[in-house]
Structure 1
Amino acid sequence: MTFPISGIPGIGASSGIGGMAGIAPTPAVADAVNGDAFSSVLASSFDQLQATQAKTDGLAAKAATGELKDVHDYMIARNESSLAVEMVVGIKNKAVEAFNEIMRMPV
């Protein structure tokens, strides 16, 4: 004998993607529904990396010409840039690893 399980009140198709009525989904959730989550995360990571490196390059040029007042700003930007590169390389490595694992699966 089976007993049907009713749905949780307040959560349903009318609630939207966010899970609660009246709350708009975040861009990441909306992209996940559209199937573009990974590509949008990857593209935004590259954009952030490029912006961080441009900021670091600008501060490095100011430091070389003597226009930079606080060297701390350059050092912070340099460390942010380094961490961003490590993050993007880590994402790339995991994506390649996942692709290789999928290719090894028997069909």
Structure 2
Amino acid sequence: MNNVSFPSINQVMSTTGQTQNNTRTHTPFEAQGKFASVLKQSIEKVNEAQIQSDAMTEKLARGENVDLHQVMITSQKASITLQTTLEVRNKVVEAYQEIMRMQV
């Protein structure tokens, strides 16, 4: 069973070059590319969790030898990762809207 893990804020910040230990500044293009890469990896992990949950549920429905508790745990992990992703997306959209309302 694969564990789904998301990068911590420190990992994301180090990827974009914003940690205190890393004084090198990235160009906006580099930062955008690295952020896009981290975002893509996170979404792929959410998708993997959903696919794994679907596979376990199908095995249970076909009567294959799987533990019910494993199916439920996998399903809950997939649900929680999706809910977390949606909440993060909502916060990002909210922050974007707030920035757009700012007067320059």
Does the TM-score normalized on the shorter chain lie above 0.5? yes
Q: Does 1:85 align with 2:82?
A: yes
TM-score when normalising by structure 1: 0.67
Contact 1:63 1:71 in 2 (8 A): yes
Code of the residue aligned with 1:102 in structure 2: it is: I
Trace 1:1-12 onto structure 2 (pairs within 5 A).
Answer: none
**Greater CA radius of gyration, 1 or 2?**
1
How big is the shift at 1:28?
5.7
Structure 1: tracts of 5 or more residues without a match: 1-25
Q: CA RMSD in A?
A: 1.9
Cα gap change, 1:76 to 1:70, in 2 (>3 Å): same
Cα gap change, 1:89 to 1:27, in 2 (>3 Å): closer
Structure 2: tracts of 5 or more residues without a match: 1-10, 18-29
Identity of aligned residues (%): 33
Q: Relative CO higher for 1 or 2, CA cutoff 8 Å, sep ≥ 6?
A: 2
Contact 2:12 2:38 in 1 (8 A): no
Q: Does 1:58 align with 2:55?
A: yes
- Which aligned runs of 4 or more in structure 1 are off by greater than 3 angstroms? none
Tell me the number of residue pairs that the alignment of Structure 1 and Structure 2 aligns.
81
Which whole-Å CA distance do the structure 2 matches of 1:92 and 1:64 have between them? 33
